Amino acid sequence: MTEHSFGDCRVVEEIGSGSISTVYKAIQEPLGRTVAIKALKTTIATSSPFAAHLEREARLLGELSHPNIALLLQFQKTESQMYLVIEYVDGHSLSKLLAKKPKLRPEVAAAIGAEIARGLAHAHDRGVVHRDVKPPNVLLSKRGEVKLVDFGIAQKERMPSLDEPLERADESAAFGTPAYMSPEQILGEYVDARSDMFSLGVVLYQMLAGARPFDAEDPSDPNGRRATAQRIRRDPPKPLRAREPEVPRALERIVMRLLEKLPADRYASAATVAEQLDDFVLATTSSPPRQLVTRALIEAGLAKPLAVSAPSFDASAPPQRRGTGPAVAGFSLLFGLLVAGGAVIQWNSPERRAAHEHGSGAPSGPGFLRVAATPWAEVSIDGVHVDVTPFARSLPLPAGTHYVTLTHPAAAPEKRTVTIVDGETILLDVAMNLRAAGDDGDSPGGRSTQSPSAHAPKAATARGDALPQGPR
């Protein structure tokens, strides 16, 4: 090993350092992919009790594999060195975003919180409690991913704790960060998954209100840390809407329940929290969560919109609309094919809806499909070109399965399968993944490893796929 390499990983820069380990950005050869290296400091022997903490973190991470947790790629231990090779997240920490924008829009905060909760749910299902959920340990990629990192003080059932020697080296590292700790963690009790729920509540509160719920009023108080711990144990948090009246009540209820003093009064599982936050996001906006995160980073000046590969057109603006003739012809062909197959399309006229509402015996209306695409896309349904987004109307379609293709000259085609139900409207909201200038596709250099979302809310097959909106 040279001074600037770890095995086949060539160090590019130092990211951060603690009392026991240092984190680097590196290039793993010969793959050429960017990774993060968390290495034991050279002043600490690999046989020391302090080194055991890093090895313990590696063993915990080795049991976890989830899109919302930074993935462990490799662990190396020799007589002279010990280090973890971890997925590199090309983006910024949540703490850096909050430094630029102390208050996030409710749907953005809820989207980030849901992703954190999903990562925690995966860890909790495997008996792992993070114990240090806070903004610096949440990474936001420029592509909108949310990753939980730093399991250095995590606790696992049936795995002995190593806090005592580490506490002598760095009390804050072992104990956690008081402002985000649960009352039971402050008391030094054995904690379970509900302790992480409290910490998540503090993070959500901070994202929405621009301040943590138990911070001291006087930041210059020399005993601020101890006072914060006492307030967490004894004082109820100020209601979220009392600090930020614009926060919707439904979201306030979720956050305040997470901040209950007694673990039994909080949510029983992180999966339940993720589901409730998802419901809030879906009821608030049609934008996919990753798009919300990326937009927040752009607005804070921490990311730039992707450039398109072709300079001859504006990727943010759809092409000139064609005359109504081709669109009508396309619809006619589509409907003719459907009728020939035995499907009868019922147009959604006001008279027909009125007749149906008054029980006149008219047949039930069709289902409807609304299409949105960012920045824009050509829309084809069942192989027939329909229109170019954006268009405001809902497309009437017979009940059953339909195949939708969205195309953009600077992106790979996006294909979706939607199931139409009589009388219901489905919203299909897709973000076209525009290639950067000069790109022929995804490049491993400088980007984090991408993983598909493992969670699909309600009746959707994936984020951005058809979402049931109810009749319109």
- DSSP 8-class letter at 139: E
User: Smallest Cα–Cα separation from 295: which of 68, 112, 69, 66?
Assistant: 112
Catalytic residue among 8, 90, 132, 442: 132
User: Smallest Cα–Cα separation from 67: which of 109, 22, 119?
Assistant: 119
What residues does 242 pair with on adjacent strands?
A: none
Q: Residue with structure tokens 């009390």?
A: 171
- Backbone φ and ψ of 298, nearest 5°: -65, -45
Q: Exposed, middle or buried: residue 262 (CB in 10 Å: 0-12, 13-18, 19+)?
A: exposed
Answer whether 259's CB lies under 8 Å from 201's CB: yes
Answer whether 134's CB lies under 8 Å from 203's CB: yes
Active site residue 8: no
Three-class SS of residue 87?
A: strand
Alpha-carbon distance 444 to 35, whole Å? 10
Q: Residue with structure tokens 């009589």?
A: 422
Alpha-carbon distance 95 to 138, whole Å? 8
Three-class SS of residue 24?
A: strand
Alpha-carbon distance 40 to 29, whole Å? 21
Three-class SS of residue 92?
A: strand
What residues does 367 pair with on adjacent strands?
A: 397
Contacts of 354 (CB under 8 A, 6+ apart): none
Alpha-carbon distance 147 to 399, whole Å? 39
Question: Strands, E, within 382-436: which ranges?
Answer: 384-388, 395-397, 400-408, 411-420, 425-431
Answer whether 186's CB lies under 8 Å from 230's CB: no
- Backbone φ and ψ of 191, nearest 5°: -105, 160
Answer whether 26's CB lies under 8 Å from 11's CB: yes
**Which structure tokens are listed for 42?**
């050279």
**Which structure tokens are listed for 332?**
């006619």
Q: Which residues does the annotation mark as catalytic?
A: 132
